[in-house]
Chains A and B, each alone.
Chain A
Amino acid sequence: MSDTEELKYEVSDSVLANVAKIAALDVPGIAGLSTTIVDSFVVGMSERLGKKRMRGVAVKNEKGLITIDIFLIAYYGDDLRILAGSVQHAVKEAIQSMMDTASIQVNVSIEDVILKDSGQ
Chain B
Amino acid sequence: MVISMDKEQMNTLGAIHIAGRAVSVIAAIAAAQVEGVVMLHSNLADSVAAMLGKGASAKGISTSINGDIAEIRVSLVVRYGSRIPDIALRVQEAVKENVEAMTGYNVRAVNIVIQSIDFNQAGGIAETKR
A: which residues have CB within 8 A of B?
37, 43-45, 67-68, 74, 76, 78-81, 84-85, 88-89, 92, 104-115, 117, 119-120
The reply to whether B101 and A79 contact each other, CB–CB distance below 8 Å, is yes
- Please give the number of chain B residues whose Cβ is less than 8 angstroms from any Cβ of chain A in the complex: 29
Contacts of B51 in A (CB 8 A): 115
The reply to whether A45 and B25 contact each other, CB–CB distance below 8 Å, is no
Q: Give the residue of A108, A119, A120 whose beta carbon is less than 8 angstroms from that of B17.
A: A108
CB distance from B70 to the nearest CB of A (A): 13
Closest to B23 in A: A113
The reply to whether A108 and B16 contact each other, CB–CB distance below 8 Å, is yes
Query: Given A85-B16, A110-B19, A114-B55, are A45 and B29 neighbors across the interface (CB < 8 Å)?
Result: no
Stretch at the interface among B3-11, B72-80, B84-92: B3-11
The reply to whether B22 and A84 contact each other, CB–CB distance below 8 Å, is no
Measured CA separation A119–B25 after assembly (Å)? 17
Q: Give the residue of B2, B6, B14, B55 whose beta carbon is less than 8 angstroms from that of A108.
A: B14
**Cβ-based interface call for B56 (8 A):** yes
The reply to whether A76 and B2 contact each other, CB–CB distance below 8 Å, is no
Query: Given A80-B22, A114-B55, A114-B56, are A88 and B13 neighbors across the interface (CB < 8 Å)?
Result: yes
Q: Is the interface of A mostly helix, strand, loop or mixed?
A: mixed
Contacts of A74 in B (CB 8 A): 22
Closest to B15 in A: A107
Measured CA separation A119–B21 after assembly (Å)? 22
Q: Give the residue of B19, B26, B55 whose beta carbon is less than 8 angstroms from that of A109.
A: B19
The reply to whether A112 and B22 contact each other, CB–CB distance below 8 Å, is yes
CB distance from A61 to the nearest CB of B (A): 15
Q: Give the residue of A43, A76, A79, A120 whose beta carbon is less than 8 angstroms from that of B25.
A: A76
Contacts of A84 in B (CB 8 A): 16-18
The reply to whether A45 and B2 contact each other, CB–CB distance below 8 Å, is yes
Query: Given A79-B102, A92-B13, are A115 and B53 neighbors across the interface (CB < 8 Å)?
Result: yes
The reply to whether A112 and B14 contact each other, CB–CB distance below 8 Å, is no
CB distance from A95 to the nearest CB of B (A): 12
**Cβ-based interface call for B103 (8 A):** yes
Query: Given A43-B4, A76-B26, are A115 and B19 neighbors across the interface (CB < 8 Å)?
Result: no
